[in-house]
């Protein structure tokens, strides 16, 4: 069959909404390089909306094939900005239903919100109609409001599926986003369905409810009622007729209907029998707040595992044990299944905590900060329901915009890293980890897009900003103050947080002089002096926020007169409302209670007791925005890999360190030769893999000797590594200038790192691996692995690495 000729009739000039002129035409084979450059420019955030799956771009050879279409069953149109692609739309006809086709749209980040999507929809719809296609179909993430608005405002007849994380559209005349991995979709659907009885139950039983107030069982019942739960509440106590004014039942077997959720607050030795009764009664989810399991030693841990296995085998999900319960403030749930005396107000922050007692302090602190929660789950020992599953629930929750984690360990660290990397480009994840603030853990969180904080105060400081203000587009901060001393502290705190306080533009300085007088200090910080009134704050903020060289503002107010605080707060809110794209934070030093003044409807300007906290929060938000705006890497298709051979070698070995010949064979199966050579000029390197309790397999790279041992100059990344991860990793050492001076072949190092990452991903039985030394040979000779040690996990450990709680 001959390929139809290039359709010149589809070449059209166009104008987008902003007035920008563009040229729309069909893609051509010679556009292959242009297409690779286009995809390479896309940020993680754009790819997350585009792919609905792992945020990595396709290989260059795959991208190049996209420039070859038949112009009939597959057609791609590009909108050009100069000689570059600004936007692309593609349809592919359904071979089973030739009148239907799926369509995808991709707009380069710097051209989004300009109207390219709507323009390309008009062109592709006309071309599809001329080729016998009646319906374009599309799947779109529910929070991709830009694309949804394009469809709903197109003027075509649009039908959409039921609300959910992904909405299916049929446009009569489809953007289906780029194919998502079907297994990932099935997992997401299954997880959400399994957690619905836990987080949105229609009825709740409290087993171990007590008649006496200030007891755990009684407070859970009271909180369910006080929180406005709309379903049935069934207290279970064989010795009570009523608890908190609600009829009580002798056992779960006596309930009038099987409850969706049971909260168990009985002695640890009675829990297994109660959970068994719940299974027999048809309960779908169980929260065990009881203590005395894993914290009591090996016997407790054994009973925990048995409890989890039984719950799963019975079709129930289990939270805990040793937790403080579950809270979901969304209107669909209004669930306060907890004994906490402090119940959070509704908001857009969700949190998972692995400590029960810590949860009590968290909810009380959040209430005092006026930080609202959409959900809070204390997972306790997390023998079944895990943090990564809660991430997948909140990923699809339109009421959640920020996710907080108290992290100790995960049953399935690989899944956590994969899920976090998928969610973080769209919703910030902020985590506090009890380990030391070393480079290893911090770099692994950063690679996954997770904001790591050093303590709970810092966690909530960051959450307060991210829940109420946008992340700044850059790291350039203006400081507006009425006191010089606090301003100097703020400048230092900004520098320590990765922010800069640059000089203001000449136009901005002129505007400040005009508003504040010729003697005003219009440098940055902008010092309004103690005599400044609210109007001065408004004028100064308007000026600095209008400066193209400023991304955010920190406002300091030292109240010289008590009656000025409310006026200044109102001025700050007015200025922030006028520039919603740039975050504004405040510190009212010495002003008790002023946080209440910086709220107006949905507008909240986060206020902090001290300016260092304001700067630190902005630093976290700016680093997050920089990460999500950076183009993602590629998971490369490595030649010369024989995974089946490697699996057969592993299957023939037991746990422990494998023989040297097996280690050599495993590496050879992944294209890595083990050969002893003479050392290169300078120190050797090492590559190792270990199991981190949070992230799972972690690849480490450094130079041997004092560089690693004394200077801790080691780079770490979590698998799977993209080409970008490998490139950044081998160039991130402080000793990199030394390697560059020696002419070390970084490309050869990067390829070795990528092959090790692929091996560990394919063979989860590998518990530890070390290549030492890795010879860094003279220019032109690459690198050589002189010795390798590989250790396989036993079955129990390998099971955790492979999956943990499924």
Q: What pLDDT shows up at residue 295?
A: 53
Q: Which of 137-141, 412-416, 745-749, 794-798 has the highest mean pLDDT?
A: 745-749
CATH of 469-628 given 2.10.10.90, 3.40.50.261, 3.90.550.10, 3.20.20.140:
3.40.50.261
Question: In which residue are the tokens 């986003």 written?
Answer: 177
**Does residue 598 surpass a pLDDT of 60?**
yes
The architecture (CATH level 2) of 8-180 comes to 3-Layer(aba) Sandwich (3.40)
Burial class for 640, CB neighbours closer than 10 Å (0-12, 13-18, 19+)? exposed
Residue percentage of the chain with pLDDT more than 90: 57
Report H helices in 396-438: 413-423
How many other CB atoms are there within 10 angstroms of residue 215's CB atom? 14
| 643-802 CATH fold | D-amino Acid Aminotransferase; Chain A, domain 1 (3.30.470)
| Averaged pLDDT of the chain | 87
Q: Which of 137-146, 289-298, 538-547 has the highest mean pLDDT?
A: 538-547
How many other CB atoms are there within 10 angstroms of residue 647's CB atom? 15
Do 285 and 261 form a contact (C-beta atoms < 8 A)? yes
**Does residue 25 surpass a pLDDT of 60?**
yes
Per-residue pLDDT band for 252 (boundaries 50, 70, 90) equals: very high
Both structure tokens of 456? 């709970």
Pick the more confident residue, 299 or 667.
Answer: 667
754 CB-near residues (< 8 Å, 6+ apart): 636, 638, 721, 723, 726
Integer angstrom CA distances of residue 386 from 187, 413, 445, 550, 763: 14, 10, 18, 41, 23
103 CB-near residues (< 8 Å, 6+ apart): 89, 90, 91, 92, 124, 128, 136, 137, 138, 171, 174, 175, 176
Which residue, among 697, 709, 706, 702, has the nearest Cα to 687 in the 3D structure? 702
Judged by DSSP in three states, 790 sits in: strand
Whole-prediction pTM value? 0.78
Q: What pLDDT shows up at residue 52?
A: 62
Tell me what the mean pLDDT of segment 183-208 comes to. Answer: 83
Tell me what the mean pLDDT of segment 624-640 comes to. Answer: 90
Do 699 and 759 form a contact (C-beta atoms < 8 A)? no
Class of the CATH-defined domain 193-467: alpha beta
How many other CB atoms are there within 10 angstroms of residue 654's CB atom? 8
Domain 193-467 and domain 469-628, same fold? Reply is yes
Looking at 150-164, 476-490, 675-689, 789-803, which range is the least confident one? Answer: 789-803
Do 44 and 624 form a contact (C-beta atoms < 8 A)? no
Tell me what the mean pLDDT of segment 652-681 comes to. Answer: 92
Identify the sign of the CA torsion 195, 200, 204, 207. positive
Per-residue pLDDT band for 798 (boundaries 50, 70, 90) equals: very low
Sequence spans of domains, the chain: 8-180, 193-467, 469-628, 643-802
Q: What pLDDT shows up at residue 178?
A: 29
**Does residue 359 surpass a pLDDT of 90?**
no
Q: What pLDDT shows up at residue 187?
A: 66
Per-residue pLDDT band for 301 (boundaries 50, 70, 90) equals: low
Residues 446, 427: Cα–Cα separation, whole Å: 14
């Amino acid at each position: 069959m001959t390929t139809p000729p290039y359709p010149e009739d589809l070449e059209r000039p166009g104008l987008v909404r902003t007035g920008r002129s563009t040229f729309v035409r069909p893609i051509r084979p010679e556009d292959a390089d242009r297409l690779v450059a286009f995809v390479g420019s896309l940020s993680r955030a754009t790819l997350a909306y585009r792919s609905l799956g792992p945020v990595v771009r396709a290989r260059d050879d795959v991208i190049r094939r996209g420039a070859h279409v038949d112009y009939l069953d597959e057609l791609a149109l590009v909108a050009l900005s100069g000689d570059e692609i600004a936007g692309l739309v593609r349809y592919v006809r359904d071979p089973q239903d030739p009148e239907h086709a799926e369509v995808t749209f991709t707009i380069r980040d710097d051209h989004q919100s300009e109207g390219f999507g709507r323009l390309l929809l008009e062109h592709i719809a006309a071309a599809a109609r001329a080729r016998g296609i009646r319906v374009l179909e599309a799947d779109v993430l529910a929070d991709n409001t830009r694309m949804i608005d394009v469809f709903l405002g197109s003027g075509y007849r649009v039908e959409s599926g039921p609300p959910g994380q992904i909405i299916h559209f049929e446009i009569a005349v489809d953007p289906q986003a780029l194919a998502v991995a079907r297994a990932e979709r099935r997992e997401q659907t299954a997880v959400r369905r399994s957690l619905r009885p836990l987080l949105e139950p229609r009825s709740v039983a409290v087993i171990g409810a007590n008649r006496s107030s200030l007891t755990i069982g009684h407070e859970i019942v009271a909180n369910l009622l006080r929180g406005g739960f709309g379903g049935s509440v069934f207290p279970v106590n064989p010795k009570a007729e009523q608890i908190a004014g609600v009829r009580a039942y002798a056992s779960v077997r006596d309930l009038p209907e099987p409850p969706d959720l049971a909260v168990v607050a009985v002695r640890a030795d009675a829990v297994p029998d109660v959970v068994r009764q719940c299974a027999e009664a048809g309960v779908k989810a169980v929260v065990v707040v009881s203590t005395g399991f894993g914290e009591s030693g090996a016997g407790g841990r054994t009973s925990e595992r048995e409890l989890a296995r039984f719950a799963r085998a019975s079709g129930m999900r289990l939270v805990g044990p040793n937790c403080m319960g579950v809270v979901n403030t969304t209107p669909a749930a209004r669930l306060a299944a907890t004994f906490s005396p402090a119940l959070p107000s509704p908001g857009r922050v969700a949190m998972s905590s692995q400590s029960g007692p810590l949860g009590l302090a968290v909810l009380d602190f959040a209430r005092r900060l006026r930080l609202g929660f959409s959900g809070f789950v204390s997972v306790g020992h997390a023998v079944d329901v895990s943090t990564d599953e809660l991430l997948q629930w909140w990923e699809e929750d339109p009421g959640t915009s920020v996710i907080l984690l108290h992290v100790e360990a995960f049953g399935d660290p690989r899944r956590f890293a994969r899920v976090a990397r998928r969610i973080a480009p769209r919703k910030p994840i902020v985590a506090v980890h009890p380990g030391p603030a070393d480079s290893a853990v911090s770099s692994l969180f950063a690679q996954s897009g997770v904001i790591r904080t050093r303590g709970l105060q810092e966690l909530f400081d960051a959450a307060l900003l991210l829940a109420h203000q946008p992340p700044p587009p850059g790291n350039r901060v203006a400081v507006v103050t009425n006191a010089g001393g606090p301003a100097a502290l703020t400048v230092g705190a900004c520098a320590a947080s990765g922010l800069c306080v640059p000089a203001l533009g000449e136009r901005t300085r002129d505007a400040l002089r005009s508003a504040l007088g010729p003697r005003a200090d219009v440098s940055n910080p902008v010092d309004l002096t103690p005599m400044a009134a609210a109007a001065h704050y408004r004028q100064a903020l308007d000026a600095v926020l209008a400066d193209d060289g400023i991304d955010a503002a920190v406002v300091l107010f030292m109240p010289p007169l008590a009656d000025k605080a409310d006026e200044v707060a109102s001025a700050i809110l007015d200025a922030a409302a006028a520039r919603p794209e740039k975050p504004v934070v405040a510190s009212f030093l010495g002003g008790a209670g002023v946080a209440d003044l910086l709220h107006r409807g949905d507008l909240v300007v986060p206020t902090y007791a001290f300016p260092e906290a304001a700067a630190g929060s902005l630093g976290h938000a700016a680093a997050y925005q920089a990460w999500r705006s950076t183009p993602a890497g590629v998971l490369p298709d490595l030649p010369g890999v024989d995974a089946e051979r490697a699996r057969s070698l592993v299957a023939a070995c037991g746990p422990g360190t494998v023989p040297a010949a097996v280690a050599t064979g495993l590496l050879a199966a992944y294209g890595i030769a083990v050969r002893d050579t003479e050392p290169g000029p300078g120190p050797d390197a090492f590559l190792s893999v270990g199991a981190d309790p949070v992230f799972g397999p972690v690849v480490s790279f450094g130079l041997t000797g004092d560089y690693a041992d004394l200077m801790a100059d080691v780079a770490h990344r979590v698998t799977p590594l993209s080409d970008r991860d490998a490139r950044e990793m081998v160039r991130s050492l402080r000793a990199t200038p030394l390697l560059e001076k020696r002419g070390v072949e970084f490309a050869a190092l990067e390829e070795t790192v990528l092959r090790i990452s692929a091996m560990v991903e394919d063979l989860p039985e590998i518990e530890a691996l070390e290549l030492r030394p890795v010879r860094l040979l003279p220019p032109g000779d690459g690198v050589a692995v002189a010795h390798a040690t590989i250790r396989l996990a036993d079955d129990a450990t390998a099971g955790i690495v492979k999956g943990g709680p499924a």
